[in-house]
């Protein structure tokens, strides 16, 4: 194991400022610590006027410029009603083109908000009017699809009330919008990643970590493991491209010091609508002392499941119910997957109360399973049993005996619940992919690296079951397989080894039902989002399990989901890690 680095001066400075958008009167001003107890600014109705501009902000003690909606970061919460027609007039006050994408919302392709694909974008000084019928209810969000504006603040929550009585009753209803902020220019950050992809990784293997491993497994085992990683040019601490070394993690626009607070009275039933509006950060969320009942995923009601912790991928949403019985404060603790920092908020009976903030968990490194090897299905990294100098692609087939994590049907030979991968795409073997796993598995019951065997009840995709089946639940007539590919040394990301600029669109026939099969060739976790169409995740035996708009894949994981091509037009399909999408993990889906 590797421990997280101690907080540096940047983290200390961050603790001095609550953060937020500032008035520009009198020039730059440092944000004063203040209580964030009021709900986010909320706009209700059927007609909205949204103005995108630049606003001074300060989250770390250093003044910066944020991209805001109506001068707010995050953007105002939009509250709609199922069955209404909404009209949104979006005016661009920036010096560059902008856009808004309504994430997870079913709408006509020209209203989807992806410049160059579904509409031309909004030029400086221009107003674009979005108008569409609201055909769903639940928790969603919106964000820019132009450049890196999402990173600089252009994102906000959407809550859609159902046409009829909401089956999920609650006394209080809060959105909890998680995000990551950097004082750096996102383009400069992106260029750093292209030159030195592990620039922000502060948990690199070291002499100290080697000595710690030797105490666990002996010097021979520790050296064997380190040599293997070196020969494969892989890094077991490759958990996140961008870390808390530059990021400040926010809850509803407040830093941990700002401590956004949601008020309650003991005995009340509270609905918390968690949204991951970050650019690059997976969060592991828990509220020590409170059980959370997950009741919705990506806006869709699911069979209630009680958990102590859940991982929320970039662009995913989860609704949970909590029922605090005691008149005390509770911490909403959302730690980054790489344990480089956390977002923090509070639930309390009155403003100003605080609860203890947990220590960040120890870092859990990637293991054999994450590399597409079957030697260690426990998720750890004990590789002492491997021969010295094991090469990439080596695996222990004997370790697969008796394993049954469930494998989906399709290409690949299943062995004991695993699937031996056949890599059918020539480009996938090229420079655009530095890792070719030998085996993958569905393992919907795997919470992911960092959460395995941590002693808490952690949500997994195996727990998620939609309350009702899709109206169109036909078996698919054909299958489309896509491999998530990347070369971390060159910071290249793609599908099937082909970046977006060189790829042909995926063409679907209107009305058909298609199975998408995703295979994660990489050692990183990816959130994959298909615009305009629902993704009906399948169970290991091929049955419908849960409906989502964003699906997370762990390393060396293979998932399948069905898509009904029921909306004509051009739709974006991409990894929702902003810098991965910008680097090429993006495709166009055309329904004709």
Phi, psi (rounded to 5 degrees) for 229: -60, -40
Residue at token pair 């997950």: 294
Looking at residue 210, its pLDDT comes to: 54
> Does the structure show a pLDDT above 60 at 390?
no
- Count how many Cα atoms sit within 13 Å of the Cα of residue 253 in the half-sphere of its side chain: 31
Looking at residue 227, its pLDDT comes to: 67
> Does the structure show a pLDDT above 70 at 208?
no
Q: How confident is the model at residue 43 (pLDDT cuts 50, 70, 90)?
A: very high
Q: What is the CATH number of the domain that holds 119?
A: 2.60.40.420
Looking at residue 90, its pLDDT comes to: 98
Q: How confident is the model at residue 237 (pLDDT cuts 50, 70, 90)?
A: confident
Q: Is 155 helix (H, G, I), strand (E, B) or coil?
A: strand
Q: What's the average model confidence in pLDDT over 353-366?
A: 93
Residue 390, in any domain of the structure: no
Distance (Å, whole) CA 320 – CA 313: 16
- Of 213-217, 359-363, 413-417, 543-547, where does mean pLDDT reach its minimum? 413-417
The tens digit of pLDDT for each residue in 95-107 reads: 999 999 999 999 9
The tens digit of pLDDT for each residue in 450-493 reads: 999 999 999 999 999 999 999 999 999 999 999 999 998 899 99
More confident residue, 389 or 192: 192
pLDDT above 90 covers a percentage of the chain that reads 73
Residue 380, in any domain of the structure: no
> Does the structure show a pLDDT above 50 at 393?
no
Looking at residue 236, its pLDDT comes to: 73
Q: What's the average model confidence in pLDDT over 42-50?
A: 97
More confident residue, 374 or 583: 583
DSSP summary character for residue 153: T
Residue 330, in any domain of the structure: no
Q: How confident is the model at residue 389 (pLDDT cuts 50, 70, 90)?
A: very low
> Does the structure show a pLDDT above 90 at 201?
no
**Which parts of 118-245 fold into alpha helices (H)?**
186-195, 207-232
> Does the structure show a pLDDT above 90 at 30?
no
**In the predicted model, what is the mean pLDDT of the chain?**
86
Contact residues for 218 (Cβ-Cβ < 8 A; gap 6+): 384
- Expressed as residue numbers, the domain containing 478 is 402-592
The tens digit of pLDDT for each residue in 559-578 reads: 999 999 999 999 999 999 99
**Which parts of 448-488 fold into alpha helices (H)?**
none
Q: Do the Cβ atoms of 538 and 562 come closer than 8 Å?
A: yes
- Of 130-144, 268-282, 401-415, 473-487, where does mean pLDDT reach its minimum? 401-415
Phi, psi (rounded to 5 degrees) for 208: -65, -45
Radius of gyration of the chain (CA): 23
Q: What's the average model confidence in pLDDT over 179-202?
A: 94
Distance (Å, whole) CA 508 – CA 514: 8
> Does the structure show a pLDDT above 60 at 183?
yes
Nearest C-alpha neighbor of 303 from the set 460, 467, 162, 166? 467
Looking at residue 456, its pLDDT comes to: 97
Q: Is 557 helix (H, G, I), strand (E, B) or coil?
A: strand
Looking at residue 233, its pLDDT comes to: 55
Residue 297, in any domain of the structure: no
Helix H or strand E segment including 100: none
Q: How confident is the model at residue 29 (pLDDT cuts 50, 70, 90)?
A: very low
Q: What's the average model confidence in pLDDT over 380-402?
A: 32
Contact residues for 189 (Cβ-Cβ < 8 A; gap 6+): 182, 242, 246, 579
Looking at residue 127, its pLDDT comes to: 98
> Does the structure show a pLDDT above 70 at 413?
no
The tens digit of pLDDT for each residue in 119-155 reads: 999 999 999 999 999 999 999 999 999 999 999 999 9
Q: What's the average model confidence in pLDDT over 212-233?
A: 65
Residue 532, in any domain of the structure: yes
Q: Do the Cβ atoms of 466 and 302 come closer than 8 Å?
A: yes
Nearest C-alpha neighbor of 377 from the set 404, 410, 339? 404
Looking at residue 21, its pLDDT comes to: 64
- Of 36-45, 235-244, 506-515, where does mean pLDDT reach its minimum? 36-45
Q: What's the average model confidence in pLDDT over 342-360?
A: 97
Number of domains in the chain: 2
- Which of 127, 145, 167 is a domain's end point? 167
Looking at residue 368, its pLDDT comes to: 76
Looking at residue 36, its pLDDT comes to: 57
Q: Is 495 helix (H, G, I), strand (E, B) or coil?
A: strand
More confident residue, 226 or 302: 302
Phi, psi (rounded to 5 degrees) for 84: -80, 165
pLDDT above 70 covers a percentage of the chain that reads 81
Pairing between strand 260-263 and 127-133? unpaired
- Which of 114, 132, 167 is a domain's end point? 167
Q: What's the average model confidence in pLDDT over 198-214?
A: 69
Distance (Å, whole) CA 306 – CA 295: 9
Residue 149, in any domain of the structure: yes
- Which of 167, 184, 199 is a domain's end point? 167
Q: Which two tokens stand for residue 491?
A: 């910071």
> Does the structure show a pLDDT above 60 at 115?
yes
Residue 3, in any domain of the structure: no
């Amino acid at each position: 194991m590797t421990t997280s680095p101690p907080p540096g001066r940047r983290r200390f400075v961050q603790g001095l400022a609550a953060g937020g958008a500032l008035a520009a009167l009198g020039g730059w001003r440092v944000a004063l610590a203040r209580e964030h107890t009021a709900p986010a600014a909320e706009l209700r109705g059927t007609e909205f006027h949204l103005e995108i501009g630049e606003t001074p902000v300060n989250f770390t003690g250093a003044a910066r410029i944020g991209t805001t909606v109506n001068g707010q970061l995050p953007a105002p919460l939009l509250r709609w009603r199922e069955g209404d027609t909404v009209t949104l007039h979006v005016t661009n006050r920036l010096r560059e083109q902008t856009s808004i994408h309504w994430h997870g919302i079913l709408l006509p392709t020209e209203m989807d908000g992806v410049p160059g694909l579904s509409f031309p974008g909004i030029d400086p000084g221009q107003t674009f009017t979005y108008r569409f019928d609201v055909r769903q209810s639940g928790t969603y969000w919106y964000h820019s699809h132009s450049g890196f504006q999402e990173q600089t603040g252009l994102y906000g929550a959407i809550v859609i009330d159902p046409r009829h009585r909401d089956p999920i009753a609650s006394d209080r209803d809060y959105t909890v919008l998680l995000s990551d902020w950097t004082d750096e220019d996102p383009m400069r950050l992106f260029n750093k990643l292209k030159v030195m992809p592990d620039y922000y990784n502060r948990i690199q293997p070291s002499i100290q970590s080697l000595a710690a491993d030797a105490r666990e497994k002996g010097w021979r085992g520790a050296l064997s493991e380190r040599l293997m990683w070196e020969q494969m040019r892989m890094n077991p601490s490759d958990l996140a491209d961008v870390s808390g070394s530059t990021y400040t993690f926010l809850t509803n626009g407040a830093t941990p010091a700002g401590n956004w607070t949601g008020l309650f009275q003991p005995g009340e039933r509270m609905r918390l609508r968690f949204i991951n509006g970050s650019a690059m950060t997976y969060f592991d969320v828990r509220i020590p002392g409170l059980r959370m009942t997950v009741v919705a995923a990506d806006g869709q009601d699911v069979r209630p499941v009680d958990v102590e912790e859940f991982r929320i991928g970039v662009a995913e949403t989860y609704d949970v119910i909590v029922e605090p019985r005691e008149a005390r404060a509770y911490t909403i603790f959302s730690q980054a997957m790489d344990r480089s920092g956390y977002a923090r908020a509070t639930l309390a009976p009155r403003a100003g109360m605080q609860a203890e903030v947990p220590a960040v968990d120890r870092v859990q490194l990637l293991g054999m399973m994450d590399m597409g090897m079957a030697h260690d299905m426990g998720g750890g990294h004990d590789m002492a049993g491997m021969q010295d100098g094991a090469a990439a692609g080596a695996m222990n087939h004997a370790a697969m005996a008796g394993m049954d994590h469930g494998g989906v049907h399709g290409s690949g030979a299943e062995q004991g619940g695993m699937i031996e991968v056949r890599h059918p795409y020539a480009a996938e073997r090229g420079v655009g992919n530095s890792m070719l796993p030998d085996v993958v598995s569905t393992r919907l019951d795997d919470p992911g690296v960092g959460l395995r065997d941590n002693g808490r009840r952690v949500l997994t995709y195996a727990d998620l079951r939609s309350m009702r089946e899709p109206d169109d639940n036909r078996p698919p007539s054909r299958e489309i397989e896509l491999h998530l590919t990347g070369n971390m040394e060159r910071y290249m990301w793609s599908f099937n080894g082909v970046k977006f600029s060189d790829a042909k669109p995926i063409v679907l026939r209107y009305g058909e039902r298609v199975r998408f099969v995703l295979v994660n060739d990489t050692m990183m976790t990816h959130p994959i989002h298909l615009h305009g169409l629902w993704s009906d995740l399948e169970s290991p035996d091929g049955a419908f399990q849960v409906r989502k708009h964003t699906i997370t894949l762990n390393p060396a994981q293979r998932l399948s989901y069905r898509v009904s091509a029921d909306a004509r037009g051009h739709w974006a399909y991409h990894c929702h890690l902003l810098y991965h999408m910008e680097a090429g993990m993006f495709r166009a889906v055309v329904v004709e």
